[in-house]
Structure 1
Amino acid sequence: MDAAEVRSRRLRSHLLAESAATVTDVAGRLFAVQAQDFAAGRWALGIRTSGEVTVGEVDRAFDDGRLVRAWTQRGTLHIVEPAAVGAILAVTGERQARAYGIDAEVLDRGERVFRTVLAAAGPLTRAAFVDALQRDGIAGSVTAGSRILTALSIRGVLALGPVVPREEGVAREQYLVALPPPGAASEDPTADLLIAYLRGHGPASSSDFAWWAGLPAGAARAAADRAEERLISFGDGLLALPDTGGATLVGTVALPAFDEYVLSYADRSVGMGAGDRLTVGPTANGMVRPVLLRGGVAVGTWALSLAAGSRGIPEATLFPAESDAGVSEALARVRGFFGFA
């Protein structure tokens, strides 16, 4: 499969050619949306949703419990539907938990504190929970408390839910919520997670899936072998679901930082040249810049300050020899989403 067809099929999988009806439909399709940067994660949903959706509409999906943000994979926050958290953690949780190395007894105590304080005090911020852990002698510092909080999310206990109101500027914090118990266990959770990944990201290789899920390459390959009858293999290592085809290549769109279209592959050469990948990232400190995408190919980067008092004027930097066709319209959509238009 040539690069143009890969891009065409991925644009459709990523809902960048045909938008979804609601923000929760987007989350369901991509299954887990990178959202360490909360504003960027919300725009990742907004750009894939039909109509003039705003950040307030996305926030309502968190406020009414349709979406949460949790440490589902790679030790990184992702936006997911609550029911999907258990399915992902069934595959990624044990490996992530080992990386944190926090004693099970400490986590048991932390979980009891979380459930007690949540029941007694109602809406609970991250800072308030970490403070409670310190008062109970479970965490000796804010850093230790934050690690326990993250480990409890990886355990499937808690997630970030309703958005904490902010008087000025775009809200950035969320209240903690208790996650529902996981559903019935899958017979093959890793193969099922591969299918979910390909539905929102394919075509992709088992190596791409391994990177996205934070799994060993061998485990990802074995899952692909077990799921062989549910997949189409293109003979070049790329896999897709049978019901996914190509799409008309879209015009210019402004993807957020850390967007799944850019980040969720081990091999990112399809949509960017080597020099452009150095500009976009991931950089040495792990940053991935917002990207201007045209026809599935990165043509530049952009930036927009969301700080309180900002005028919301975006700045675009085009790669050499690229035109500014459609850039103003793409950035105007970002401004409208965040309430600057």
Structure 2
Amino acid sequence: MGLSWDDLAGHALARQFPAATLDVPDAVAAIGPMQTQTARSAFLGLAARFPGTTHAQVTEAYDDGVIVRGSTIRGTVHTASPGHYSVLAEATRIGQHPRWARVLGVTDEQLVDLFSSVEAYAREWRTPEELRLHLVDWLAEHSPATRDAAEEGPGRYLAFGHGGLVRRPASGDRWEGQGKPVYRTFDRTAAATTTDVVRLHLASHGPSSRHDIAWWAGVPLRVVDEALDGLDVIGEDGPDGRTYLDLPGSPPPRDLPGARLLPEFDALMCGYDPPARERFADPAHLTRLWSGANGLVMPPLLVDGRITGYWRANGSARRRPLEVTWFARTRRPRRDELDEPVAALEAVLGITVSSVTITRELV
């Protein structure tokens, strides 16, 4: 009969919401890399999956280097275990480096030398401006005709966006803030391969189509196909006519009753090719959550394993109101179902929720 969207969702929920209680490093390793260009997303993602996670625990894991954050696949920012970050670095090399070579107008060999130079320079923490100036100086010496590309446009991000650096807040311990970062070279735990990239995606998000893997990793389909040739996988037909692949011995599907407050760019959306996100949400609801104009995403509301709305706790004060919005023709979250998510939010951000309002929105 094949897999339905509900089947696919159940299998993915078993990976993204483990039943076990895990500390922060083990939790991040278990669920896989989290997209965190919004810095608080790592905090919120862990709180939604492991209620009781505290701000101090996440901060300590970052400070100790047992979880790391930096610009990797698709040019986005991810938080991951060091082992998984090495895999992301390989996916970034395949998916992003050809683009950077085109942007700068350099050869592949020159790009390798440039990145090696950047990583040697960033053996200590560097600001984005220091990295940009290093990039400009290197190009002035080795490829003068391309120097202008590093001064303007996307080229100015190359020095810290190639997957070889990690970042931390420049101002101190507020890892959940959007303040200025500094960057340092990431010491890879081991060499990774494209097979490792595919295996990581399936372990974190499967079952997945080859299109899901390619979109998530930011690599061409041919790269995925070549990696799959060396990997033992199981395939079943999906609801959209695509074949969905999984690793042998993967966990059985699970239900996820109740409500959760997910972060922006949560894996339930960003782990999949856009058409396949229907496993977790109605397409019209996804369009409402994800603005094509500015690329921003409203933090999703998850009810009974489906994305059915969004939430806000705006401001920087320690006391903030929480506004929860649910979409018409979906199940309204009960107020008591929000008690645990609210407590999880308070613990992981170190805030107090002063009030909770629940509003319906027509979509």
User: Which TM-score band (shorter chain)?
Assistant: 0.7 to 0.9
Q: TM-score, normalised by structure 2?
A: 0.78
The CA deviation string for residues 167-197 of structure 1, in whole angstroms up to 9 with x for no partner, is 8x95745442321145245xxx222221111
Amino acid paired to 2:92 = T
Aligned equivalent of 1:92: 92
Q: TM-score with structure 1 length normalisation? A: 0.82
SS of alignment partner, residue 176 of structure 1: strand
**Alpha-carbon distance in 2 for matches of 1:141, 1:310:** 43
- Equivalent of 2:338 in 327, 330, 334: 327
Give distance in 2, aligned partners of 1:272 and 1:13: 18
Give the 4+ runs in structure 1 shifted more than 6 A: 131-143
Aligned to 1:299, the other structure's residue is in SS state strand
Query: Counterpart of 1:240 in structure 2: which amino acid?
Result: D
Structure 2 residue 38 is the aligned partner of structure 1 residue 31? no
CA distance in 1, matches of 2:199, 2:163: 23
Contact 1:131 1:142 in 2 (8 A): no
Q: What is the alpha-carbon distance in structure 2 between the residues aligned to residue 181 and residue 323 of structure 1?
A: 46
Match of 1:73 in 2: 73
Please list, as runs of the form range in 1=range in 2, the aligned pairs for 1:101-120 lying within 5 A after superposition.
101=101, 102=104, 103=106, 104=111, 107=115, 109-115=117-123, 118=124
* Equivalent residue, structure 1, for 2:361: none
Per the alignment, residue 60 of structure 1 pairs with: 60
Code of the residue aligned with 1:276 in structure 2: it is H
Asked if residue 337 in structure 1 is aligned to residue 348 in structure 2, the reply is: yes
Shift of 1:58: 0.7
* Kept after mapping to 1: 8 A contact 2:69/2:77: yes
Larger mean Cα displacement after TM superposition, 274-283 or 292-301: 274-283
Describe how 1:218-233 pairs up with structure 2 within 5 A. Answer: 218-227=222-231, 230-233=232-235
- Structure 1 238/25 Cα, relative in aligned 2: closer, same or farther at 3 Å? same
Structure 2's unaligned 5+ residue stretches are: 141-146, 353-363
**1:238 maps to 2:244:** yes
Unaligned runs of at least 5 residues, structure 1: none
Does the aligned pair in 1 maintain the 2:75–2:161 contact within 8 Å? no
Q: Name which of 247, 255, 259 aligns with 1:252.
A: 259
| Aligned equivalents of 2:137, 2:288: Cα separation in 1 | 45
1:205 is matched with which residue? 209
Percent identity between the two aligned chains: 24
- CA distance 1:298–1:179, change in 2 (3 Å): same
Q: Is the 8 A contact 1:111 1:152 kept in 2?
A: no
Q: Which moved more, 1:124-133 or 1:170-179?
A: 124-133
Partner Cα distance (2:236, 2:183) in 1:
43
How far did residue 239 of structure 1 move? 1.7
Partner of 1:44: 45
Give distance in 1, aligned partners of 2:115 and 2:268: 35
Q: How does 1:120-139 map to 2 (within 5 A)?
A: 123-127=125-129, 129-130=131-132
Q: 1:147 to 1:166 in 2, by over 3 A?
A: farther
